[in-house]
Chain A
Amino acid sequence: MKFSLDIKGTIAPFSAIARAFEHPKTICYPSQKKEKVDGYRGFHTNLLETCIGCANCQDVCMNDAIDMITITEEKNAKNNSGCIPRIDYGRCCWCSLCTDVCPPNSLKLESESIWANEDSNNFLYMPKDK
């Protein structure tokens, strides 16, 4: 290989040292948490007051991640089916199509998105009533 001295190309990379004196860009998780972003596609919430149990969300879900579960607690009077959606987070891809097709707009996604559990059955998630 022919040797040629590239002075600029040899010295210039050392300018990276300046970065060492800048403020760190990383955050110390979990003591420090990332700011929540409005509109982030996280966990589902379902306002039971308005949910009509129409199962549109179940129909549109391409991953079959939504089951309609019968509930006994207080619900919307217009909910004739008596069912509300339950999400399987082992299948959900957070595409948010279920919230797009929700006629009363009761099903939404919140910014919360951290969930860890050793039992796979716990990934069947009942959306919070809010």
Chain B
Amino acid sequence: MIENKENRVIKIFHGPQHPGITGNMSVELDLVGETIQKARTHVGYLHRGFEKLVERRTIIQAFTIVCRICVPEPDPNEENFARAIEGLAGIEISQRAKYIRVMVLEMARIGAQMLWMGGQSGSVGLGTVAQWSIYDRDLILDLFEELTGGRVYHMYIYPGGVRRELPDGFLDRLEQFLDYLEERLPKYDNIFFDNSTFKKRAIGVGVINQDEALKYGYVGQALRGCGIKRDVRKDNPYLVYDELDFDIPTFDGGDVYARALVRRQEIRESIKILRQVIKQMPTEGDIMQKIPKHRKFKIPKDDILVSSESARGEYNYYMAGDGSEKIRRMQVKGPSLIHGFTLLENMLKGEELSNVAMIMNSLGICPPEIER
């Protein structure tokens, strides 16, 4: 406890080299005692500029950059990019490729939620949960390694379809993993979601109300955690999500615990989706449509906006072509932009210093998305 009888304001930087920060960013905090009076988000530690990098490269070359916009869950970026290019170039992908894409996206969603569980539990001092969830995420990464050749950056969803056919017996191994995960989830409930330590820390902390959420345009668990049922997969279905049966979990409360419960339920929904995908995936169909060669792949002078639901909220990709082999302008809006600035700065006012890491984790802030 910091002794501060004169109500003196102390300024500290939470990050960029703080274990509780969710990436290369920092939050400048004005503290009186341990209570936060003012919070300001600082980004600029990455200097990546993905949008500009994409403009300088051909379409095929740009595809390998977009996955780096979000490290924990790169696949929605690949999918959005590919879908935008396909929309502009007028390419229709096969039903089988769509199912494979959904499978990859849902696997990535589970992986991202497991990684979040590690971060969230670590932020409240429950290190065991992090050890477990990171191990289980590794099993998903093993599947990704087998399918795509890469563990974290998959570079698999390509304009025109997907790059590789499923390895022999892959769907069986995926099903085995889902069985294993379903068996594990009640154990996570025991040690994390029902844990009185976590509940006492998380309930009533970082509260968002519905009016605020709608006014500022919060997305993902920030929105569903305060009872608003909104998900791009249902509201504006893409790929084959309209053929799949799943629910959008919502919880009232709007606090860190409600957002954790939304994520807990979303893992179960993803398992449900993956089981349907395994069952319904067509066995025949080209995984890749014929696309022009590297320098000859051009997109017309037109623009398009595509959106999708990542594990942390809605992603939007705006893309404009000018008839050349390069993209004239690409704009990415991930959930972190609004959550990392407006929401975090508002939410941290009046909170305790020890809750900063927990709140940041619950919002799923990913700095490369802000500095895109």
Contact = CB atoms under 8 A, between A and B. Distances in A.
Contacts of B187: 15-16
Interface in B46-65: 57, 60-62, 64-65
Contacts of B61: 60, 62, 97
Nearest to B136: A25
Most buried by B among A16, A25, A93: A16
B196 interface: yes
Contact of A8 (B57, B132, B194): B194
Contacts of A60: 60-61, 294
B290 interface: no
A57 B196 CA distance: 57
A9 interface: yes
Interface string B138-164: 000010011001100101000000011
Using C-beta atoms within 8 Å of the partner chain, give the interface range for chain A: 20 to 34
A79 interface: no
Contacts of B64: 62, 93, 95, 97
B150 A62 contact: no
A75 interface: no
Given A6-B196, A60-B294, A96 B145 contact: no
B198 to A, nearest CB: 8
Interface in A59-106: 59-60, 62, 93-97, 100-101
Interface in A101-118: 101, 109
A76 B145 CA distance: 33
Contacts of A38: 146, 167
B85 to A, nearest CB: 15
Given A60-B294, A97-B64, A10 B196 contact: yes
A12 B155 contact: no
Given A13-B191, A19-B128, A62-B64, 12 more contacts: A6-B196, A9-B196, A15-B191, A38-B146, A39-B167, A40-B145, A60-B60, A62-B62, A93-B64, A97-B64, A100-B163, A101-B293
